[in-house]
Structure 1
Amino acid sequence: MVDADPLAESWTPAQIEVMQRLRDWAVGFGELHRHLAVWMRLPVSDAQALGQITWAAEAGTPLSPAELSRRIAMTTGATTILLNRLEDAGHVQRSRESSDRRRVTLRPTPDAREHARRFLAFAGAEIAATLRAADPEELRVVTTFLSKITEAMNDANRRLDHGPAPDRTS
């Protein structure tokens, strides 16, 4: 961990611009999740969970309920209720794919994947066009940078998960 006070640090205009664009991306991504919720006629929390489950399955790293809880910032009990709703609505399947039969894996149903695919085909046209038009070197640089930022964020989250309680004296 670098010993720096982010609020007192003197940032360059380029560093400030990067943080603003990352914030804009996060806000826009959240807005896309809200549109997905409307598209799929789901509460936003359910659509967010379904999005996490679908992306993880597409990446070949399906989620467990515990990992989903962490990603969507819900208790395991609340996540179980959410998963029951998604399963009852035909959006999610729970299976035991591991040799450890206690481990549950979450996957979107074929219908949910197709519904999400139609959403992405409609909503993601501009993003897809931007990615296709990008120079391969530009993509490599951005990927490297975002990987470093993500790792730094993950380090901070791990520290916060295991660190002292926040100071509430002020």
Structure 2
Amino acid sequence: MSEMITAEEHRMAAEGPEMEIVHLLRAVTVELSLHSARFANRNGMHPTDVRALIALMDARRAGEEMSAGRLGGTLGLNSAGTTAVIDRLERAGHVRRVRGRTDRRRVVVEVDERAVELGQAFFGPLIGRVVELLRGHDERELAAIRSFLDGVREAAAEAD
């Protein structure tokens, strides 16, 4: 008795495993975007505010200062849009404007510890699950995953 192959299964087989992974990556991106939108909604934030907090936390983790101009460039915003985001986040107590450590004339934006805790409370369980999934892979597999994701990030950054 032969099994019937659906049109979708036939299409996926014709596309190959590469396209299957591309579609899976797209689905992951959509799910992560929805998760981030839920966080924004529950905390009365604009999705761009969440992206700004992520950029600020990434800079903090790297030990780098983030000026308003650099933040705007990272987010793809003009000066007025960047100021609006920073003002909203500052009013909510998520960020503060402070003098730079190395150049006291420079004003930089820092994420407040309360924002870090808020993000950890919401995103922590998801991060924990991802870490557990990664622990199931050996160093060679982790290197391949890292290389692939870094390549996708670079390709997306260049795609205009």
TM-score with structure 1 length normalisation?
0.71
Equivalence for 2:10: none
Inter-CA distance 21–65: structure 2 relative to 1 (3 Å threshold): farther
Q: Which has the larger radius of gyration?
A: 2
Q: Which runs of 5+ in 2 are unaligned?
A: 1-13
Equivalence for 1:80: 83
Offset of residue 84 of structure 1:
0.9
Equivalence for 2:46: 43
The letter of the residue matching 1:36 is F
Equivalence for 1:97: 100
- Give the secondary-structure state (helix, strand or coil) at the position aligned to 2:93: coil
Aligned-residue CA RMSD in angstroms?
2.5
TM-score with structure 2 length normalisation?
0.75
Q: Which runs of 5+ in 1 are unaligned?
A: 1-10, 161-170
Q: Between Structure 1 and Structure 2, how many residues are aligned? A: 147
| CA deviation profile, 1:38-60 (whole Å, cap 9, x unmatched) | 34332322222222222332233
Equivalence for 1:144: 147
| CA deviation profile, 1:51-82 (whole Å, cap 9, x unmatched) | 22223322333433223223333222111011
Residues 15-34 of structure 1: pairs in structure 2 closer than 5 A: 15-34=18-37
Distance in 2 of aligned mates of 1:112 and 1:127: 21
Correspondence 1:56 to 2:59: yes
Offset of residue 138 of structure 1:
1.1
Distance in 1 of aligned mates of 2:108 and 2:134: 31
Distance in 2 of aligned mates of 1:103 and 1:14: 50
